[in-house]
Copies of this chain bind each other. A is one copy, B any other.
Amino acid sequence: MDLVHIYQCFCDRTRLRILNLLSQSPLCVCHFQAILGESQVKISKHLAYLRDRGMVKVERDQNWMVYSLLGKPAPELESNLKCLQDCIQSDPLFARDLGKLASIRKSCCEPRTAFHESDRDRRRYGKAKRPFHLRS
């Protein structure tokens, strides 16, 4: 992956917050909205930016678009993401985002592909209704 593309993706604080959250688990747009407190349009555009440069992938799950980091990123992307993680460890903004993520993880029911690391988890869950999803 082109280094310049990597840094183009990194040079915006909203995108850094998105990447921080995705480092924990796949998520969809409404999760980002809830955690980052930004508009759906803004989130959507930044995700498109990251997707266009090959930094994230998206899979549709019914109505939801579930974004995630690449399973096997290029070495330079992997090392830069690690470096980024080290740098933001002590930044309260990013820490607060992770706290919010932990919160909504407990209460959110759909989509299945969000919050989980692998497709194995996905198959483990049925279609059973649970608490509530963020938006409805």
Contact = CB atoms under 8 A, between A and B. Distances in A.
Interface of A: 3-4, 7-8, 10-13, 16, 75-76, 79-80, 82-84, 86-88, 91
A79 B81 CA distance: 12
Contacts of A13: 3-4
A37 B75 CA distance: 29
14 contacts: A3-B16, A3-B88, A3-B91, A7-B7, A7-B10, A8-B11, A10-B11, A11-B11, A75-B87, A76-B87, A80-B83, A80-B87, A82-B83, A83-B83
Contacts of A82: 83
A83 B88 contact: no
Given A4-B13, A7-B11, A76-B87, 4 more contacts: A4-B16, A7-B7, A79-B87, A80-B83
